[in-house]
């Protein structure tokens, strides 16, 4: 899960992150931090890559290449 820290967790949770830092962590640990309101979930937007267009094949040159 990706989370963003709302507080400094170094003293209370013994973690070495800073306020505003976005990190990927195990879901179990993230859920504990969410319950303590120390973090918020970061939702990633899925960006689809446009598919590359295939160049049309000229049948006349394809036959010449053989």
Mean per-residue pLDDT pooled into runs of 10, the chain (66 residues): 93 92 93 94 81 75 57
pTM for the predicted model, two decimal places: 0.64
pLDDT of residue 39: 95
pLDDT of residue 65: 54
Enumerate residues 6+ apart whose C-beta is below 8 A from 34. 3, 40, 41
pLDDT of residue 53: 79
Phi, psi of 20 (to 5 degrees): 85, -10
pLDDT of residue 66: 53
pLDDT of residue 61: 65
pLDDT of residue 29: 94
């Amino acid at each position: 899960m990706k989370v963003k820290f709302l507080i400094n967790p170094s003293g209370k949770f013994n973690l070495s992150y800073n306020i505003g830092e976005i990190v990927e962590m195990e879901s179990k640990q993230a859920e504990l931090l969410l319950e303590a309101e120390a973090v918020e979930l970061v939702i990633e937007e899925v960006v689809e890559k446009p598919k590359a267009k295939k160049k049309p094949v000229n049948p006349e040159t394809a036959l010449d290449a053989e």
